[in-house]
Amino acid sequence: MKIGILGIQGDVDLHRKKLEEAGLDWCIVKKAHELEGIDGFILPGGESTTISKMLERYNMDKVLKEKIVDGLPVLATCAGTVLLASRIEDGEEEISPLGILSIKIKRNAYGRQRESFEVPLKINLGGREEKIVGVFIRAPKIVEFWNGVDVLGTFEESPVMVKQGKIIAMTFHPELSDGVAVYKFFEEIIKGSV
C-alpha cells in the first residue's frame, strides 16, 4: 500500500514522518501522473488559495477530483479540508474548491485572538474513542454538513473531524500531535475494513 502526499505546500514532511511511524509506505505527489498507482492521498494544510491555484496550474485539479470521486481514499487537514469542501462561506471567489465533501466551511473562522490554539479532543475512529490534542492553526470551521457526513469529533459544537465514504477531513493538524491513530484509521479505510 502506498500513500501519496501532495507536495505543493504545508506540513509535507511531518505527514511523511507519521506515515513512517505508522509503518506505511509513502510518496510525494507533485504532478498529475504521480497520482497513478497510489492507494490513498494526503492533502496537507497550508494556504488553500495557494494550493488551489497550484493544482490548477499543474492541471491536477480535474484529475484529482476524478480520482477521489472514483474512490481514492483521502486524509485532508485544515486547508486540505477547505479544498475538498462543496461550499465556502464568504470567499468562494478567491478559491475554487474541488466540491467533493458535503460540507460548508468558513476559512480562518477563529479570528485573530485565536489564530492558533491547542485543545484536547475526543475523536471516534471506527467505534474506538481516541484522545488527541487538536492543534488548530488559522483553522477553518465546518458550519454545515449534509449527505451522509459522519462527525467523528467536535469542538465547541462544531465538527472538527468528519468522514464521508473514504474521505476523512480535519480542521486541526494530526501531524503536529503525538501518536498515529488517525493514520492507522486511514489505513483501515484504505483496506476497506471500516
Residue 175 annotated among the catalytic residues of the structure: yes
Give the DSSP letter string of 125-187: ETTEEEEEEEEEES--EEEEE-SSPEEEEEETTEEEEEEETTEEEESS-GGGSS--HHHHHHH
Task: Work out the number of other CB atoms within 10 angstroms of the CB of residue 106.
Answer: 20
Select 133 or 194, whichever has its Cβ closest to ligand GLN: 133
Select which of 20, 92, 144, 173 is catalytic.
173
Binding mask 128-167 for ligand GLN (x = CB under 6 A): ---------xx-x---------------------------
Stretch that binds ligand GLN, among 17-25, 44-52, 125-133, 162-170 (CB under 6 A): 44-52
Select which of 33, 78, 157, 187 is catalytic.
78
Helix (H) or strand (E) holding 74, with range, is strand 74-77
* Total residue length of the chain: 194
Q: Does 55 bind ligand GLN (CB under 6 A)?
A: no
Q: Residues with catalytic annotation?
A: 78, 173, 175
